[in-house]
Copies of this chain bind each other. A is one copy, B any other.
Protein backbone atom coordinates (compact mmCIF):
# COMPACT_ATOMS: atom_id res chain seq x y z
CA UNK A 1 0.00 0.00 0.00
CA UNK A 2 1.71 3.13 -1.15
CA UNK A 3 1.38 6.61 0.20
CA UNK A 4 -0.46 9.28 -1.76
CA UNK A 5 1.40 11.74 -3.98
CA UNK A 6 0.41 14.77 -1.90
CA UNK A 7 1.55 13.18 1.33
CA UNK A 8 4.84 12.21 -0.26
CA UNK A 9 5.44 15.75 -1.48
CA UNK A 10 4.92 17.05 2.04
CA UNK A 11 7.26 14.36 3.44
CA UNK A 12 9.82 15.14 0.74
CA UNK A 13 9.85 18.86 1.50
CA UNK A 14 10.14 18.21 5.22
CA UNK A 15 12.95 15.69 5.00
CA UNK A 16 14.96 17.95 2.70
CA UNK A 17 14.57 20.86 5.12
CA UNK A 18 15.53 18.77 8.14
CA UNK A 19 18.80 17.71 6.46
CA UNK A 20 19.73 21.33 5.90
CA UNK A 21 18.74 22.22 9.44
CA UNK A 22 21.12 19.55 10.78
CA UNK A 23 23.92 21.07 8.72
CA UNK A 24 23.17 24.63 9.81
CA UNK A 25 25.25 24.28 12.99
CA UNK A 26 28.61 23.56 11.39
CA UNK A 27 31.31 25.51 9.61
CA UNK A 28 32.12 25.25 5.92
CA UNK A 29 35.39 23.38 6.72
CA UNK A 30 33.49 20.74 8.75
CA UNK A 31 31.68 19.68 5.56
CA UNK A 32 34.90 18.57 3.88
CA UNK A 33 36.95 16.23 6.10
CA UNK A 34 36.81 12.45 6.49
CA UNK A 35 38.79 11.52 9.61
CA UNK A 36 38.02 7.80 9.21
CA UNK A 37 37.06 5.71 6.15
CA UNK A 38 33.66 4.91 7.66
CA UNK A 39 32.86 8.60 8.19
CA UNK A 40 31.71 10.62 5.19
CA UNK A 41 32.20 14.35 4.75
CA UNK A 42 28.85 16.06 5.40
CA UNK A 43 28.95 17.61 1.94
CA UNK A 44 29.03 14.12 0.52
CA UNK A 45 25.83 13.22 2.39
CA UNK A 46 24.19 16.35 0.96
CA UNK A 47 25.15 15.29 -2.53
CA UNK A 48 24.48 11.59 -2.16
CA UNK A 49 20.93 11.93 -0.82
CA UNK A 50 20.14 14.23 -3.74
CA UNK A 51 21.79 11.86 -6.20
CA UNK A 52 19.50 9.00 -5.15
CA UNK A 53 16.42 11.01 -6.10
CA UNK A 54 18.06 11.84 -9.41
CA UNK A 55 19.24 8.32 -10.20
CA UNK A 56 16.25 6.33 -8.99
CA UNK A 57 13.37 8.67 -9.75
CA UNK A 58 14.08 11.70 -11.94
CA UNK A 59 16.16 9.81 -14.47
CA UNK A 60 13.36 7.28 -15.00
CA UNK A 61 10.15 9.16 -14.39
CA UNK A 62 10.77 12.85 -15.14
CA UNK A 63 10.24 13.55 -18.80
CA UNK A 64 13.31 14.98 -20.59
CA UNK A 65 15.23 15.12 -17.34
CA UNK A 66 18.66 16.75 -17.79
CA UNK A 67 21.41 15.96 -15.27
CA UNK A 68 22.57 18.85 -13.13
CA UNK A 69 26.12 17.58 -13.74
CA UNK A 70 26.78 14.12 -15.20
CA UNK A 71 30.02 13.81 -13.18
CA UNK A 72 27.93 13.73 -10.00
CA UNK A 73 26.62 10.27 -10.97
CA UNK A 74 29.98 8.75 -10.14
CA UNK A 75 30.84 11.17 -7.39
CA UNK A 76 27.75 10.68 -5.26
CA UNK A 77 27.06 7.02 -5.87
CA UNK A 78 27.82 5.20 -2.63
CA UNK A 79 27.95 1.56 -3.64
CA UNK A 80 25.28 0.84 -6.25
CA UNK A 81 27.41 -1.08 -8.71
CA UNK A 82 24.50 -1.78 -11.02
CA UNK A 83 24.26 1.92 -11.91
CA UNK A 84 27.94 2.40 -12.67
CA UNK A 85 31.22 3.38 -11.11
CA UNK A 86 31.64 5.19 -7.85
CA UNK A 87 34.36 7.09 -6.01
CA UNK A 88 36.25 4.94 -3.50
CA UNK A 89 34.62 5.49 -0.12
CA UNK A 90 37.81 6.15 1.81
CA UNK A 91 38.83 8.92 -0.59
CA UNK A 92 35.79 11.11 -0.22
CA UNK A 93 37.72 13.36 2.13
CA UNK A 94 40.37 14.08 -0.52
CA UNK A 95 37.98 15.96 -2.75
CA UNK A 96 37.63 19.69 -2.25
CA UNK A 97 35.24 20.10 -5.17
CA UNK A 98 32.36 20.40 -5.73
CA UNK A 99 32.23 23.02 -3.02
CA UNK A 100 29.47 23.16 -0.43
CA UNK A 101 27.88 26.03 -2.34
CA UNK A 102 27.83 24.00 -5.56
CA UNK A 103 26.23 21.07 -3.77
CA UNK A 104 23.60 23.37 -2.31
CA UNK A 105 22.76 24.39 -5.89
CA UNK A 106 22.51 20.72 -6.79
CA UNK A 107 20.11 20.13 -3.90
CA UNK A 108 17.98 23.08 -4.96
CA UNK A 109 17.86 21.71 -8.49
CA UNK A 110 16.73 18.30 -7.25
CA UNK A 111 14.16 19.87 -4.93
CA UNK A 112 12.68 21.85 -7.81
CA UNK A 113 12.59 18.87 -10.14
CA UNK A 114 11.06 16.54 -7.55
CA UNK A 115 8.47 19.13 -6.59
CA UNK A 116 7.60 19.53 -10.24
CA UNK A 117 7.29 15.77 -10.67
CA UNK A 118 5.02 15.46 -7.64
CA UNK A 119 2.77 18.36 -8.58
CA UNK A 120 2.45 17.92 -12.34
CA UNK A 121 0.17 15.13 -13.61
CA UNK A 122 0.19 11.56 -12.38
CA UNK A 123 3.12 9.57 -11.11
CA UNK A 124 3.47 5.82 -11.59
CA UNK A 125 2.65 3.68 -8.56
CA UNK A 126 6.17 2.17 -8.59
CA UNK A 127 7.71 5.64 -8.68
CA UNK A 128 5.78 6.59 -5.57
CA UNK A 129 7.19 3.56 -3.78
CA UNK A 130 10.71 4.51 -4.84
CA UNK A 131 10.19 8.08 -3.66
CA UNK A 132 9.02 6.84 -0.29
CA UNK A 133 12.11 4.65 0.03
CA UNK A 134 14.36 7.51 -1.02
CA UNK A 135 12.83 9.72 1.65
CA UNK A 136 13.57 7.04 4.24
CA UNK A 137 17.05 6.80 2.77
CA UNK A 138 17.61 10.49 3.42
CA UNK A 139 16.41 9.99 7.00
CA UNK A 140 19.03 7.27 7.45
CA UNK A 141 21.60 9.79 6.30
CA UNK A 142 20.28 12.34 8.79
CA UNK A 143 21.30 9.94 11.55
CA UNK A 144 24.63 9.36 9.80
CA UNK A 145 25.14 13.12 9.61
CA UNK A 146 24.81 13.38 13.39
CA UNK A 147 27.25 10.48 13.81
CA UNK A 148 29.77 11.82 11.32
CA UNK A 149 29.58 15.42 12.53
CA UNK A 150 30.15 14.16 16.09
CA UNK A 151 33.23 12.24 14.94
CA UNK A 152 34.58 15.21 12.98
CA UNK A 153 34.07 17.75 15.76
CA UNK A 154 35.41 15.44 18.47
CA UNK A 155 38.65 14.88 16.58
CA UNK A 156 39.60 18.52 16.44
CA UNK A 157 42.28 19.58 18.86
CA UNK A 158 40.35 22.71 19.71
CA UNK A 159 37.24 22.33 21.90
CA UNK A 160 34.06 22.29 19.81
CA UNK A 161 30.39 21.59 20.37
CA UNK A 162 27.58 21.05 17.93
CA UNK A 163 24.93 22.77 20.03
CA UNK A 164 25.33 24.63 23.26
CA UNK A 165 22.09 23.76 25.06
CA UNK A 166 22.93 22.10 28.37
CA UNK A 167 22.25 18.39 28.94
CA UNK A 168 20.11 17.51 31.93
CA UNK A 169 21.39 15.14 34.58
CA UNK A 170 19.98 11.60 34.37
CA UNK A 171 18.07 9.69 37.04
CA UNK A 172 19.27 6.29 38.19
CA UNK A 173 17.24 3.58 36.42
CA UNK A 174 15.38 0.92 38.40
CA UNK A 175 16.75 -2.59 37.88
CA UNK A 176 13.78 -4.68 36.71
CA UNK A 177 13.34 -7.55 34.28
CA UNK A 178 10.53 -8.66 31.98
CA UNK A 179 9.97 -12.39 31.36
CA UNK A 180 8.77 -14.00 28.14
CA UNK A 181 7.44 -17.51 27.74
CA UNK A 182 8.43 -20.20 25.29
CA UNK A 183 6.59 -20.53 21.98
CA UNK A 184 6.10 -19.45 18.44
CA UNK A 185 6.09 -15.71 17.75
CA UNK A 186 5.71 -13.61 14.62
CA UNK A 187 8.73 -11.56 13.68
CA UNK A 188 9.16 -8.78 11.11
CA UNK A 189 7.23 -6.02 9.47
CA UNK A 190 3.50 -6.00 10.26
CA UNK A 191 2.60 -4.35 6.97
CA UNK A 192 1.12 -1.22 8.60
CA UNK A 193 3.51 1.20 6.90
CA UNK A 194 6.83 1.56 5.19
CA UNK A 195 9.51 -1.04 5.77
CA UNK A 196 12.80 -2.08 4.21
CA UNK A 197 13.14 -5.40 2.41
CA UNK A 198 15.30 -6.84 5.19
CA UNK A 199 12.39 -6.64 7.69
CA UNK A 200 10.24 -8.89 5.55
CA UNK A 201 8.46 -11.22 5.29
CA UNK A 202 6.77 -11.47 8.64
CA UNK A 203 7.43 -15.05 9.74
CA UNK A 204 7.17 -17.54 12.57
CA UNK A 205 10.07 -18.01 14.97
CA UNK A 206 10.43 -20.33 17.96
CA UNK A 207 11.28 -18.37 21.08
CA UNK A 208 12.86 -19.96 24.15
CA UNK A 209 11.95 -18.61 27.59
CA UNK A 210 13.99 -15.55 28.48
CA UNK A 211 14.16 -12.51 30.68
CA UNK A 212 15.22 -9.06 29.53
CA UNK A 213 16.24 -5.94 31.41
CA UNK A 214 13.85 -2.99 31.43
CA UNK A 215 16.78 -0.58 31.49
CA UNK A 216 19.76 0.15 29.33
CA UNK A 217 23.23 -0.37 30.75
CA UNK A 218 24.47 2.92 32.20
CA UNK A 219 27.86 4.59 32.10
CA UNK A 220 28.21 3.74 35.80
CA UNK A 221 27.68 0.01 35.22
CA UNK A 222 30.19 -0.02 32.41
CA UNK A 223 32.69 1.97 34.47
CA UNK A 224 32.52 -0.84 37.07
CA UNK A 225 33.49 -3.31 34.33
CA UNK A 226 36.36 -1.06 33.24
CA UNK A 227 37.56 -0.63 36.81
CA UNK A 228 37.41 -4.40 37.36
CA UNK A 229 40.04 -4.73 34.57
CA UNK A 230 37.36 -5.67 32.08
CA UNK A 231 39.52 -4.54 29.15
CA UNK A 232 42.47 -6.72 30.16
CA UNK A 233 40.82 -10.05 31.02
CA UNK A 234 41.07 -12.08 27.82
CA UNK A 235 38.60 -14.70 29.02
CA UNK A 236 35.73 -12.17 28.81
CA UNK A 237 36.29 -11.42 25.14
CA UNK A 238 35.52 -13.02 21.83
CA UNK A 239 38.69 -14.13 20.07
CA UNK A 240 38.41 -11.38 17.44
CA UNK A 241 37.42 -8.90 20.13
CA UNK A 242 40.58 -9.63 22.08
CA UNK A 243 42.60 -9.08 18.93
CA UNK A 244 40.79 -5.76 18.42
CA UNK A 245 41.43 -4.61 22.00
CA UNK A 246 45.09 -5.67 21.89
CA UNK A 247 45.98 -4.29 18.49
CA UNK A 248 44.04 -1.05 18.94
CA UNK A 249 45.11 -0.62 22.58
CA UNK A 250 41.45 -0.03 23.44
CA UNK A 251 40.88 0.83 27.10
CA UNK A 252 37.55 2.66 27.23
CA UNK A 253 34.43 3.54 25.21
CA UNK A 254 34.97 5.61 22.09
CA UNK A 255 34.08 9.11 23.33
CA UNK A 256 35.31 8.70 26.90
CA UNK A 257 38.51 10.37 28.06
CA UNK A 258 40.27 10.45 31.41
CA UNK A 259 41.59 13.94 32.20
CA UNK A 260 43.44 14.48 35.44
CA UNK A 261 41.73 11.49 37.06
CA UNK A 262 38.18 12.42 35.99
CA UNK A 263 36.22 10.70 33.25
CA UNK A 264 34.64 12.84 30.56
CA UNK A 265 32.38 12.04 27.61
CA UNK A 266 32.27 13.91 24.36
CA UNK A 267 28.69 14.66 23.23
CA UNK A 268 27.11 16.81 20.57
CA UNK A 269 26.52 19.22 23.46
CA UNK A 270 30.30 19.37 24.03
CA UNK A 271 32.61 17.63 26.48
CA UNK A 272 30.84 16.84 29.76
CA UNK A 273 31.93 15.00 32.88
CA UNK A 274 30.70 11.42 32.73
CA UNK A 275 27.16 11.07 34.08
CA UNK A 276 26.98 7.61 35.68
CA UNK A 277 23.21 7.34 35.18
CA UNK A 278 23.10 8.16 31.49
CA UNK A 279 22.82 5.26 29.05
CA UNK A 280 26.15 3.94 27.80
CA UNK A 281 26.65 4.70 24.08
CA UNK A 282 29.31 4.35 21.37
CA UNK A 283 30.56 0.89 22.19
CA UNK A 284 31.44 -1.95 19.86
CA UNK A 285 29.82 -5.38 19.77
CA UNK A 286 33.06 -6.72 21.20
CA UNK A 287 32.74 -4.46 24.25
CA UNK A 288 29.03 -5.26 24.62
CA UNK A 289 29.70 -9.00 24.53
CA UNK A 290 32.60 -8.75 26.99
CA UNK A 291 30.49 -6.69 29.37
CA UNK A 292 27.65 -9.23 29.21
CA UNK A 293 30.14 -12.01 29.85
CA UNK A 294 31.51 -10.15 32.87
CA UNK A 295 27.94 -9.80 34.17
CA UNK A 296 27.39 -13.55 33.55
CA UNK A 297 24.45 -12.54 31.41
CA UNK A 298 24.06 -12.29 27.65
CA UNK A 299 22.88 -10.02 24.87
CA UNK A 300 19.36 -10.69 23.56
CA UNK A 301 18.75 -12.13 20.12
CA UNK A 302 17.17 -9.74 17.65
CA UNK A 303 13.87 -11.66 17.93
CA UNK A 304 13.87 -11.39 21.72
CA UNK A 305 14.51 -7.68 21.53
CA UNK A 306 11.78 -7.16 18.91
CA UNK A 307 9.26 -9.00 21.07
CA UNK A 308 10.25 -6.89 24.08
CA UNK A 309 10.04 -3.61 22.13
CA UNK A 310 6.61 -4.43 20.72
CA UNK A 311 5.38 -5.24 24.22
CA UNK A 312 6.77 -2.04 25.77
CA UNK A 313 5.52 1.50 25.90
CA UNK A 314 8.24 4.02 25.24
CA UNK A 315 8.03 7.28 27.09
CA UNK A 316 8.52 10.49 25.15
CA UNK A 317 12.10 11.62 25.67
CA UNK A 318 13.35 15.15 26.26
CA UNK A 319 14.58 16.76 23.09
CA UNK A 320 18.36 16.46 23.18
CA UNK A 321 21.14 15.00 21.04
CA UNK A 322 22.43 12.65 23.71
CA UNK A 323 20.50 9.90 25.53
CA UNK A 324 19.57 10.72 29.10
CA UNK A 325 16.97 8.12 30.05
CA UNK A 326 18.12 4.53 30.59
CA UNK A 327 14.61 3.50 31.58
CA UNK A 328 13.07 3.84 28.13
CA UNK A 329 12.51 0.87 25.79
CA UNK A 330 13.36 2.56 22.51
CA UNK A 331 14.69 5.81 21.11
CA UNK A 332 17.74 6.21 23.31
CA UNK A 333 20.47 3.83 22.06
CA UNK A 334 20.64 1.15 19.38
CA UNK A 335 21.06 -2.09 21.34
CA UNK A 336 23.47 -4.73 20.12
CA UNK A 337 21.89 -8.16 19.70
CA UNK A 338 23.68 -11.50 19.54
CA UNK A 339 22.17 -12.04 16.08
CA UNK A 340 24.45 -11.88 13.11
CA UNK A 341 22.74 -10.09 10.24
CA UNK A 342 21.12 -12.75 8.02
CA UNK A 343 18.19 -12.86 5.63
CA UNK A 344 14.78 -13.68 7.06
CA UNK A 345 13.16 -16.89 5.75
CA UNK A 346 11.94 -16.21 2.19
CA UNK A 347 13.72 -12.84 2.11
CA UNK A 348 13.37 -11.07 -1.20
CA UNK A 349 15.51 -8.02 -1.97
CA UNK A 350 14.02 -4.83 -3.44
CA UNK A 351 13.60 -4.98 -7.19
CA UNK A 352 15.56 -2.80 -9.55
CA UNK A 353 18.28 -0.31 -8.66
CA UNK A 354 17.60 -0.60 -4.94
CA UNK A 355 18.29 -4.33 -5.06
CA UNK A 356 21.68 -3.69 -3.48
CA UNK A 357 20.21 -1.70 -0.57
CA UNK A 358 20.45 -4.33 2.15
CA UNK A 359 21.00 -7.92 1.09
CA UNK A 360 24.60 -7.69 0.05
CA UNK A 361 25.67 -6.61 3.53
CA UNK A 362 24.42 -9.79 5.22
CA UNK A 363 27.86 -10.98 6.28
CA UNK A 364 30.03 -10.25 9.30
CA UNK A 365 27.62 -7.72 10.77
CA UNK A 366 25.49 -7.81 13.90
CA UNK A 367 21.93 -6.53 14.24
CA UNK A 368 21.05 -3.61 16.50
CA UNK A 369 17.52 -2.76 17.52
CA UNK A 370 15.51 -0.02 19.20
CA UNK A 371 16.50 3.29 17.60
CA UNK A 372 18.58 6.02 19.18
CA UNK A 373 18.29 9.63 20.24
CA UNK A 374 19.30 10.95 16.80
CA UNK A 375 17.14 8.58 14.76
CA UNK A 376 14.48 10.67 12.97
CA UNK A 377 11.16 10.12 14.71
CA UNK A 378 9.06 8.92 11.76
CA UNK A 379 11.85 6.78 10.42
CA UNK A 380 11.84 4.21 13.18
CA UNK A 381 9.65 1.11 13.79
CA UNK A 382 10.16 -1.90 16.09
CA UNK A 383 10.90 -4.26 13.19
CA UNK A 384 13.78 -2.01 12.09
CA UNK A 385 17.05 -3.95 11.65
CA UNK A 386 20.09 -1.75 11.97
CA UNK A 387 23.47 -3.47 11.46
CA UNK A 388 27.15 -2.75 11.97
CA UNK A 389 30.44 -4.64 12.03
CA UNK A 390 31.40 -5.83 15.52
CA UNK A 391 34.27 -3.37 15.88
CA UNK A 392 32.36 -0.24 14.85
CA UNK A 393 31.26 2.22 17.50
CA UNK A 394 30.79 5.68 16.16
CA UNK A 395 27.02 5.11 16.07
CA UNK A 396 24.89 5.58 19.20
CA UNK A 397 25.16 1.92 20.23
CA UNK A 398 24.42 0.60 23.72
CA UNK A 399 23.48 -2.49 25.71
CA UNK A 400 20.29 -4.09 27.01
CA UNK A 401 21.00 -7.38 28.82
CA UNK A 402 19.07 -10.65 28.73
CA UNK A 403 19.25 -14.08 30.35
CA UNK A 404 17.83 -17.54 29.86
CA UNK A 405 15.01 -18.76 32.02
CA UNK A 406 15.94 -22.32 32.92
Q: Which residues of B contact A91 (CB under 8 A)?
A: 35
Kindly identify which residue among B29, B69, B237 contacts A99, using a CB–CB cutoff of 8 Å: B29
Kindly identify which residue among B33, B285, B362 contacts A93, using a CB–CB cutoff of 8 Å: B33
Please tell me if the beta carbons of A27 and B99 are within 8 angstroms of each other in the complex: yes
A235 to B360, CA, bound (A): 9
Q: State whether the Cβ of A273 lies closer than 8 Å to any Cβ in chain B.
A: no
Q: In this complex, what residue of B is CB-closest to A389?
A: B364
Q: Which residues of B contact A406 (CB under 8 A)?
A: 346
Q: Which residues of B contact A82 (CB under 8 A)?
A: 234-235
**Which of A100, A204, A345, A404 has the most chain B CB within a 10 Å cutoff?**
A345
Q: Mark A126-163, 1 if CB is under 8 A from B, else 0.
A: 00000000000000000000000000110111101000
Q: Which residues of B contact A157 (CB under 8 A)?
A: 71, 74-75, 87, 95, 97
Contact A34/B94 with A157-B75, A345-B404 known, Cβ cut-off 8 Å:
yes
Report the copy number of this chain in the oligomer: 4
Q: Which residues of B contact A239 (CB under 8 A)?
A: 79, 360-361, 363
Q: Which residues of B contact A338 (CB under 8 A)?
A: 342-343
Please tell me if the beta carbons of B340 and A240 are within 8 angstroms of each other in the complex: no
Q: In this complex, what residue of B is CB-closest to A87?
A: B157
Please tell me if the beta carbons of A33 and B32 are within 8 angstroms of each other in the complex: yes
Please tell me if the beta carbons of A208 and B345 are within 8 angstroms of each other in the complex: yes
Q: How big is chain A's contact interface, by range?
A: 35 or more
Please tell me if the beta carbons of A235 and B156 are within 8 angstroms of each other in the complex: no
Contact A32/B362 with A81-B242, A208-B345 known, Cβ cut-off 8 Å:
no
Q: State whether the Cβ of A221 lies closer than 8 Å to any Cβ in chain B.
A: no
Given pairs A338-B342, A364-B390, 20 additional interface contacts (CB within 8 A): A27-B96, A29-B31, A29-B43, A29-B99, A32-B96, A35-B91, A35-B95, A81-B234, A87-B157, A95-B156, A96-B153, A96-B156, A184-B184, A203-B208, A235-B355, A238-B361, A240-B363, A241-B363, A289-B363, A340-B341
Binding site for B on A (CB under 8 A): 27-35, 43, 69, 71, 74-75, 79, 81-82, 87, 91, 93-100, 152-153, 155-158, 160, 184, 203-206, 208, 234-235, 237-242, 285, 289, 338-343, 345-346, 355-356, 360-364, 390, 404, 406
